[in-house]
A and B are shown apart, each in its own frame.
Chain A
Amino acid sequence: MAKSIKVRASNKNGLTTVKALMSHPMKVEKKDKKTGEVKPAHFIQTVTCEHNGKAVLTAEWGAAISANPYLSFKFNGAKKGDTLKVSWVDNKGENATVDASIK
């Protein structure tokens, strides 16, 4: 499984718009009707976005977020060239982090 986050952060008049696309299956717990076998859920639980070490957005997700999740938000107080750190942790303890520069 590719563990990657694509982030595009653009600054316009002091307002930074962040768009992030993560690569993750986001599976709901499912029971096979024929065999009764339970396939465990696998989804991102927490996404944190930090600017200068300060959390600008913390998202708590359930399994009802679509596969390969998309997240967009806006915040103030960043300059062009600043770094935005986006990371996620899923319910299996897997994680990914990316540093994106604000354009």
Chain B
Amino acid sequence: MDIFKIVIWGITAGMILLLIRRERPELAMGFSLVAGVSILLAVLPGLRTVVSAFSDIASEAGLGPLYFGIILKVVAISYIADLGASICRDADENLIASRIEMAGKILILVCSIPIIQGIVELIRTLLT
């Protein structure tokens, strides 16, 4: 089972991290980044099958590939932005963390503009 491996991995990394953080807090940031990234890398292949299943469902439901691609892009942006923000917050850099989150929100807004345009277009066709 993958979850046992990941939990054991996380506990081990946390124990070593406690040891390092007292002596070298700047190296502890790199250590926690590696621990988090390797956990995410371990679960990403499972997510790939989920994404392909969802794209099958979306294409069967007649949802355009444009909109589904936007949803996937938004999920990926939030995934990466959350990783970066939580690493920075862990190192007590709250300002950088909140800026990363803000940038993620702005990029998501930029990505979702076609959906908003689609809604406006739909309303216009309904009204006329």
Whether A associates with B in a native complex is no
- List chain B positions with a Cβ less than 8 A from chain A: none
